[in-house]
Amino acid sequence: MLISACSSIPDVDSDLQLQQWQNHQALVNKIESWNIKGRAAIQSENNSATFLLHWDQFNTSYELRFISGLGQGTYLLKVTEDGVVMITPKNKVFTSDTPENLIREKLGWDVNLAGLKYWVRGVPEPNVKYSQLLLDEKGRLKDMKQSGFFISILRYTEKENISLPEKLFIRSNNIQLRLVIQNWEI
C-alpha cells in the first residue's frame, strides 16, 4: 500500500521545469515599467512597522511610497538618474548616494532595493550570484538565497498571461519583510 501511494505522486520533469523557469524569466525581464500596491510588514532588530506600499517603476527610475497607518503620514523615496531623495511626512527632504542608505538612516531598515525590484517580480537580480533555488511545479521561483537574503514566494497571480508574485517573505540576519501585493499594473 505504501509503495502504491508513493507511486501516485507525479514526477516533475526537471528539463521541463528548467525550460519553464527560463521562459518565465524572459517574460518577466521584459517588464521595464510597472507599479504595485500592497501591504507590508517589516521587522528589524530595533523596530517594526506595517504600512501600505506603492511602487512605481519607470525603467531605471522609481518611486516608493511607504504609507503609515494611524495618521503617521507618507514617506516618499524617489530614485532617478539625478540622485536619491526621501521626503518625510513633515516635508523634510533628505538625499543620499543610495536608496538603501536613506532607508537605513531614516527608517532603520536594512533592505536591498536593488535586489527587491527583481524579487517582487519573481526573478533573481541579474549578475548577482544566487543559491538554494527552488522552483514550483510551474517552473516559477519558490525559494532562493541572494545577497544575504532568503526570498520565498508563497503565492502568484496572473497579469496579462505572466505569473507575478502576490505574497512574498524576505528575510536576512537583520530584517524580515512580508509583502502582499494587492494590485499589479504592467
Residue 66 lies in a domain: yes
Over residues 100-129, the pLDDT tens digits come to 999 999 999 999 999 999 999 999 999 999
152-171 mean pLDDT: 97
* 153 occurs within a structural domain: yes
The reply to whether 31 falls in a domain is no
Averaged pLDDT of the chain = 91
Q: List pLDDT tens digits, range 71-93.
A: 689 999 999 999 999 999 999 99
Predicted local distance difference test score (pLDDT) of residue 105? 93
Q: Is 47 exposed, middle or buried (0-12, 13-18, 19+ CB in 10 A)?
A: exposed
Average pLDDT over residues 142-162: 97
Tell whether 40 is covered by a domain: yes
With bands split at pLDDT 50, 70 and 90, how would you rate the model's confidence at 1?
very low
Residue 89 belongs to some domain of the structure = yes
CATH code assigned at 121: 2.50.20.10
In terms of residue numbers, what domain contains 82? 36-185
Task: Give per-residue burial for 58-68: e unless 16+ CB within 10 Å, then b.
Answer: eeeebbbbbbe
Residue 22 lies in a domain: no
Tell me the per-residue pLDDT of 30-50, one tens digit each, with 9 for 90 and over.
999 999 999 999 999 888 999
Number of domains observed in the structure of the chain: 1
